Amino acid sequence: MQNKKVLLGMSGGVDSSVSAILLKEQGYEVIGATLELFSNNSGNTNNHLDVKNVCDLMNIQHFTYDYKNEFRKHVIDDFIDCYANCKTPNPCIECNRHMKFGVMWEKAKELGCNYIATGHYARTEYSEEYKRWVLKKSNAGKKDQSYVLWNIPKELIEHILFPLASFENKEQIREIARKNNLKVADKPDSEDICFIPDGNYKRFLENNSKMMPKEGNIVNSNGEILGKHTGLYNYTIGQRKGLGISYSKPLFVLGFNKIRNEVIVGEEEELYKKEMTVTDINLLLIDEIKDWMPVQVKTRYSSKVADAKIRQEGNCIKVVFDEPQRAITPGQSAVFYVGDIVLGGGKIV
């Protein structure tokens, strides 16, 4: 008999709570797992109570695991290091790789589970065409989260369940929660970085690293000094507001010179690039890209896909877009799609 035991990551939100309902309806033996990742006493306590209420209501076994040290090492330290090196990170991607689909999978195996599940809007299925398990977009349109899952281990895909894959909007999820009398049915989505609940990442960096405001020059592409900045980590590529510069045309952040402590600005057309290089690559669909390959690319979570061709060059991937793309940002992830299937991805250099 097939092992239908699954460890479900539960945050206290409506997505993971409804995932528990759906998995039970599909005949899985569900165990809930909550990962304690950082210290935020009030928020954590409320979320833990919500998880406990759901698990008690559904008669699901539940465990809480303390992974604060691992989260600090793999997610928070990476977040700080990126900003220290003039990159803009996406901490959810590192959390998925190391925590939800890293340490949680190890815990699942210890508990005798054949699967792990989360409330992500994504899909896994076996592809006859590629003769392997693949990660695909969900039906959720703009809320699809396949973008933040590109760097999970490909051998794990066949052991991952995404119960919300077929839903098109959040209201459908909330309606299931209401029908099952879940108190979290109308709980608001959390939009901020989980370990920075007030959204003030600049203050977080100053409180948790050696980064402090350090004035330097704002210059244009020709090196002409146009003003002063308050610290490189206070700016991101594409930013227009808050530069404090008076100029004949709107100016945007184009990049940084860390050695000279400069913020480089320019006009909007200078933000567009047709090529980029991607490193730290993880290929899910194929083992190697041997020649130029047409794909669609997302360069940040909120962006639309863009047509491009890619080629692997050692440990990097060269990307050439059909049309120039705006505000390509080092540190963000580039994710490659073939239709609805995630080919893989990497970090923009």
Indicate whether 191 pLDDT > 90: no
Please indicate whether residue 194 is annotated as part of the active site: yes
Please indicate whether residue 95 is annotated as part of the active site: yes
Number of domains making up the chain:
2
Number of neighbouring beta carbons within 10 Å of residue 71: 23
Tens digits of per-residue pLDDT, 65-118? Answer: 999 999 999 999 999 999 999 999 999 999 999 999 999 999 999 999 999 999
Tens digits of per-residue pLDDT, 9-44? Answer: 999 999 999 999 999 999 999 999 999 999 865 556
pLDDT of residue 156: 98
Q: What is the CA radius of gyration of the chain?
A: 22
Indicate whether 349 pLDDT > 70: yes
Q: Indicate if 101 and 236 belong to the same structural domain.
A: no
DSSP 339: T
Residue 13 forms part of a structural domain: yes
CATH code, domain with 52: 3.40.50.620
Q: Indicate if 105 and 224 belong to the same structural domain.
A: no
Query: Average pLDDT in the 200-229 region?
Result: 96
pLDDT of residue 42: 52
pLDDT of residue 114: 97
User: pTM (2 decimals)?
Assistant: 0.95
Distance of CA 113 to the CA centre of its chain: 25
Query: Average pLDDT in the 148-161 region?
Result: 98
Q: Which two tokens stand for residue 272?
A: 């567009």
Indicate whether 138 pLDDT > 90: yes
Q: Which residue of the set 55, 86, 92, 95 is catalytic?
A: 95
CATH code, domain with 245: 2.30.30.280
Tens digits of per-residue pLDDT, 252-286? Answer: 999 999 999 999 999 999 999 999 999 999 999 99
Instruction: Report in angstroms the alpha-carbon separations of 306 from 16, 250, 278, 332.
Output: 31, 26, 15, 15
Residue 173 forms part of a structural domain: yes
Q: Indicate if 17 and 105 belong to the same structural domain.
A: yes
Q: Indicate if 13 and 89 belong to the same structural domain.
A: yes
Residue 244 forms part of a structural domain: yes
Please, are residues 126 and 158 in contact by the beta-carbon 8 Å criterion?
Answer: yes
Q: Indicate if 77 and 225 belong to the same structural domain.
A: no
Residue 19 forms part of a structural domain: yes
Q: Which two tokens stand for residue 11?
A: 């945050």
Q: What CA–CA distance (Å, rounded) separates 87 from 42? A: 31
Q: Which two tokens stand for residue 233?
A: 């980590």
Please, are residues 332 and 348 in contact by the beta-carbon 8 Å criterion?
Answer: yes
Q: Indicate if 115 and 218 belong to the same structural domain.
A: no
Q: Which two tokens stand for residue 316?
A: 């990097």
Residue 43 forms part of a structural domain: yes
- With CA atoms as reference, report the closest residue to 332 among 191, 150, 102, 73: 150
Q: Of 266, 282, 304, which closes a domain?
A: 266
Q: Indicate if 109 and 174 belong to the same structural domain.
A: yes
Q: What rounded mean pLDDT belongs to the chain?
A: 95
Output the CA torsion sign for 116, 122, 123, 129: negative
Residue 272 forms part of a structural domain: no
Q: Indicate if 56 and 170 belong to the same structural domain.
A: yes
Please, are residues 293 and 311 in contact by the beta-carbon 8 Å criterion?
Answer: yes
Q: Of 246, 266, 286, which closes a domain?
A: 266
Residue 97 forms part of a structural domain: yes
Q: What CA–CA distance (Å, rounded) separates 229 from 242? A: 10
Query: Average pLDDT in the 315-336 region?
Result: 98
Residue 325 forms part of a structural domain: no
Domain span including residue 247 = 213-266
Q: What CA–CA distance (Å, rounded) separates 20 from 161? A: 11
Instruction: Report in angstroms the alpha-carbon separations of 251 from 172, 226, 323.
Output: 43, 10, 22
pLDDT of residue 41: 52
Q: Indicate if 115 and 226 belong to the same structural domain.
A: no
Q: Give all strands of the β-sheet with 225-229 in edge-to-edge order.
A: 225-229, 216-219, 262-266, 252-257
Residue 342 class from Cβ within 10 Å (0-12 exposed, 13-18 middle, 19+ buried)?
buried
